[in-house]
Amino acid sequence: MTTTRRRVMAVGCSIGLLLGPLGVAGPAQAQDPPAKPVTVMTRNIYLGADINRPVEAALRAAAQPGANQLTIVTALANATQVTRAIVDRTDFDVRGGLLADEIVDARPDLIGLQEVALWRHGPLQLNQVGVPNAGTVDYDFLQILLDDLAERGTPYVAASIANRADVESPSFTGSIAMPGGDPRDIRLTMRDVVLMRASSSLRTLDEGQDIYDVNLQVGVAGVAFNFDRGYQWVDVRAGAQRFRFVNTHLEAFSSDIALAQANELVEEATSPNRSTVFVCDCNSDPANSSIKPIDHVPHKAPYELITGAGGYTDLWKDSGRPTDLPGFDAGDTSGLNETVDEALPGSWTHRIDMVFGRTADGEALTTDRGQVTGRDGDPRDPATGLWPSDHAGVVMRVRGL
């Protein structure tokens, strides 16, 4: 479909999310013969660093007396150098294996992945700041994860790949006059991906995706950095049943933007003639009523739209687990530090990774099994201390399709 994009000016971007283990759901609906349950997962796999840093550094530089293009670009490049070094430190070659172990253990039929980064570099081009054209691949998170899953004997296939923000920045230490620290351009392409287990009995029928009309845009040194987000869906056959699986990652910086995106999501991505299961890093905690200084609505507003006017059931909540209090028992799935190397038990403080469901006529889907992954016990790499991600995953077995 075609959209006319409306951008919202703001500063910053990115955020984390997480959840926890589930209990027993309510009774299955008594309608037609019940379809076979389907196990789904939402998993934010973490870009590898805080990508706010370069933009915020450039904006601070721009606010200084006597600021000019050279000082602003220098601040942008110096902060990009730091950020890219942290991507190496949070090594996805290590974390990809941890995530693969987690997925193999849970064996979901379908996975909605967020923050599936493609990190690239190219020659330093100070005459093309912000132009995403670097082509040398450093980390392809999707390929690394798919290879790790195949090596473990549980291959998955990408049923849908959706390119989102595609941003590039100069990277060096020191000044433009004498750049150091391996001067180059760094490019990040963010992707959302739907994976299907190759051995699953499910079959794809159709797929689609779109960019949201309202997205974050940040102006730096006369360049617009567009942090696009969107949704993707896959129509699936499960035996005699058909359903839609939707994956999205709502805006983290602004709940106003996330609310507009959630409204578009439920209106456009919900199937009109079959059940819809959708997973997300929603960046909206139902227990968080705070309002950011730049916003007009609380952090929980997108969640309340989805479960209110959107007609979706929060399947974690439907499982009987508490959701209105902070802590592990409420299914918190986000909050780790940038370098994802915290000591146990980790600072899990937000519930923003969700699984929702509804039938075509707005009735509830149910769940009889679920868990939070990558959080409890000790899922860290023993050699490096790295966690799989700054988010935890959520796995739900869905009934009533």
Please tell me the predicted confidence (pLDDT) of residue 369: 87
- Percent of the chain residues past pLDDT 90, beyond the cut: 83
pLDDT class of 198 with cuts at 50, 70, 90? very high
Please tell me the predicted confidence (pLDDT) of residue 49: 99
Please tell me the predicted confidence (pLDDT) of residue 36: 84
pLDDT, greater one: 7 or 374? 374
- Low-confidence winner among 84-88, 92-96, 317-321 (lowest mean pLDDT): 317-321
Render pLDDT for 44-58 as a digit per residue (tens, 0 to 9).
999 999 999 999 999
Q: How many Cβ atoms sit within 10 Å of the Cβ of residue 345?
A: 11
Query: What is the rounded CA–CA span in Å between residue 85 and residue 87?
Result: 5
- Low-confidence winner among 97-111, 296-310, 323-337 (lowest mean pLDDT): 323-337
pLDDT class of 5 with cuts at 50, 70, 90? very low
Render pLDDT for 168-186 as a digit per residue (tens, 0 to 9).
999 999 999 899 999 999 9
Q: Are 23 and 369 in contact (CB under 8 A)?
A: no
Render pLDDT for 34-47 as a digit per residue (tens, 0 to 9).
568 999 999 999 99
Q: Are 140 and 118 in contact (CB under 8 A)?
A: yes
Please tell me the predicted confidence (pLDDT) of residue 160: 99
For the stretch 296-328, what's the b/e string if a residue is b when 16 or more beta carbons lie within 10 angstroms of its beta carbon? Answer: ebbbbbbbbbbbeebbbbbbbbbbebebeeeeb
pLDDT class of 138 with cuts at 50, 70, 90? very high
Q: What is the 3-state secondary structure (H, E, C) of the chain?
A: CCCCCEEEECCCCCCCCCCCCCCCCCCCCCCCCCCCCEEEEEEECCCCCCCHHHHHHHHHHHCCCCCCHHHHHHHHHHHHHHHHHHHHHCCHHHHHHHHHHHHHHHCCCEEEEECCCEEEEECCCHHHCCCCCCCEEEEEHHHHHHHHHHHCCCCEEEEEEEEEEEEEEEEEEECCCCEEEEEEEEEEEEEEEEEEECCCCCEEEEEEEEECCEEEEEEECCEEEEECCEEEEEEEEECCEEEEEEEEECCCCCHHHHHHHHHHHHHHCCCCCCEEEEEEECCCCCCCCCCCCCCCCCCCHHHHHHHCCCCCEEHHHHCCCCCCCCCHHHCCCECCCCCCCCCCCCCCCECCEEEEEECCCCCCCEEEEEEEECCCCCCCCCCCCCCCCCECEEEEEEECC
Please tell me the predicted confidence (pLDDT) of residue 224: 93
Please tell me the predicted confidence (pLDDT) of residue 21: 34
**At 57, phi and psi to the nearest 5?**
-65, -40
Please tell me the predicted confidence (pLDDT) of residue 221: 84
Q: Are 99 and 111 in contact (CB under 8 A)?
A: no
- Asked whether residue 110 carries a pLDDT value surpassing 80, the answer given is yes
pLDDT class of 19 with cuts at 50, 70, 90? very low
CATH superfamily of 6-399: Endonuclease/exonuclease/phosphatase (3.60.10.10)
Measured CA to CA in angstroms, residue 262 lies from 8, 53, 132, 167 at distances of: 15, 26, 28, 24
Q: Are 190 and 165 in contact (CB under 8 A)?
A: yes
Q: How many Cβ atoms sit within 10 Å of the Cβ of residue 30?
A: 6
- Percent of the chain residues past pLDDT 70, beyond the cut: 89
Average pLDDT across the chain, whole number = 90
Domain residue extents for the chain: 6-399
105: tokens are 């253990």
Average pLDDT of 236-263?
97
pLDDT class of 347 with cuts at 50, 70, 90? very high
Average pLDDT of 76-88?
98
Please tell me the predicted confidence (pLDDT) of residue 322: 54
Query: What is the rounded CA–CA span in Å between residue 261 and residue 214?
Result: 7
